[in-house]
Structure 1
Amino acid sequence: MQFDYLKHVTGGLDRHAVLNELMAAYGKDVWNFAFFYTRSRELADDISQDVFVKVFQQLYEFRGQSSIKTWLLAITRNTARDVLRSAWIRRVTFFGGLVRPQEQTSPSAERESFDKLMTEEIWAVVLKLPQKLREVLLMNSHYGLSMQEMADMLHVSVGTVKSRLHRARAAVNRSLTQEAKWTGEEEWT
């Protein structure tokens, strides 16, 4: 793996260079995970910055007990949880909602347009899931983490991860099936 050498480093490494490499390799993943956890672009920006500050400070403490990606996502999750628990967030109500990406004014093909619509519909359903279900679905489907990596990161058993993942998939499928019935579209299976 690209960053395996980090588990053997105890000092003397150019942390700025390593941080730049980590940000280039995993910056988008960290931001996306923070966004899906908080549902806020502004909070995702702040959390991403905080995560990489923590990584910079704790770089010599990484011992390779998990992959670097799992370590970064765990820091992201913990930072996002701390932000959402903060007194400021609990007192402030954000107006507006989920900001969708700008619609394309002239899609190049009918299929591209249909695929984009379906993707937005699925992400809207995923973002409505309870946090415990949403996070395991994202960790597994989007980030490709194993059951054991997710269990270690969430401090739960593998069985709990499997159960949450099953419930998340069932909820998404149920929601999309109901929506298809209402609109007369083909059923999701």
Structure 2
Amino acid sequence: MQVHGQEVWNYAYFLTKHQDWADDITQDVFLRIYRSPNTFRGESSVRTWLFAITRNCVFNYRRSAFLRKVTLMGRVKHSGEAPSAESEALANQYIDEIWESVMALPAKYREVLILDARYELSLKEIADITGLSIGTVKSRLSRARRKAAEIWKGGVVYE
């Protein structure tokens, strides 16, 4: 959990857009591993295995009775330093706009884009996590990039 806990939480957040859900899902992921430590078969990396478990927990969580249609999302903030207050404000605005574009994508596109761009997983690893073919992953990744660019440039919202 110390090594991969933050990545699991980030992935859960990217899939759900809710910080409290990401907290619950991350806890559920590591509880499942604690209860059944021998489920790792070594067919993938530990990280890929954790992302697959996280994805399954997200889908289970979404199926639960308290899921709501309305999603209120705060902005994802960049914590880096900038040489001046003005350049820091501009950088934060730029980063916020990009994250808003990514978070506005439908879940199926947002997921593959995050796994590729943020976690730098290979197409095969993404296919293993999502249960999709490599061709479908390539297609969704291409569409995700195009749609995110459209949203960022023109404010088009797909969800």
TM-score over 0.5 for the pair: yes
* Residue identity opposite 2:43 in structure 1: Q
| Structure 2 equivalent of residue 122 of structure 1 | 98
Which amino acid in the other structure matches residue 74 of structure 2?
V
Distance 1:144 1:103, change over 3 A: closer
| CA–CA separation in structure 1 for the residues paired with 2:83 and 2:142 | 36
For residue 82 of structure 1, what is the amino acid of its counterpart? N
* Offset from partner CA, 1:143-186 (integer Å, 9 cap, x none): 1110001111111110000000000000011122225xxxxxxx
Deviation at 1:37, TM superposition (A): 0.7
1-structure distance, mates of 2:111, 2:131: 13
1:29 aligns with 2:7: yes
| 2:142 aligned partner, one-letter code | H
Counterpart position of 2:75: 100
When the two chains are superposed, the root-mean-square deviation of aligned CA atoms in Å is 2.0
CA change 1:58–1:151 in 2 (3 A) is same
Q: Aligned equivalents of 2:136 and 2:39: distance in 1?
A: 29
Q: Does 1:153 align with 2:129?
A: yes
For structure 1, the residue ranges without an aligned partner over 5 or more in a row are 1-22, 180-189
Q: Which moved more, 1:28-37 or 1:108-117?
A: 108-117
* Deviation larger for 155-164 or 111-120: 111-120
Cα deviation per residue 1:90-143 (whole Å; 9 max; x = unaligned)? xx566x721235799xx7513222111111111111111011000000000001
Q: Is 1:170 matched with 2:146?
A: yes
Higher helix fraction (1 or 2): 1
Measured in 2, the distance between the counterparts of 1:121 and 1:70 equals 29
Unaligned residue ranges in structure 2 (runs of 5+): none
Q: Is the 8 A contact 2:77 2:92 kept in 1?
A: no
C-alpha distance in 2 between matches for 1:102 and 1:161: 28
User: In the alignment, residue 140 of structure 2 is paired with which amino acid?
Assistant: R
Task: Give the alignment's TM-score, normalised by structure 2.
Answer: 0.88
Aligned length: 152
Residue identity in the other structure for 1:83: Y
Query: Sequence identity of aligned pairs in percent?
Result: 41
- TM-score when scaled to structure 1? 0.74
Contact 2:75 2:100 in 1 (8 A): no
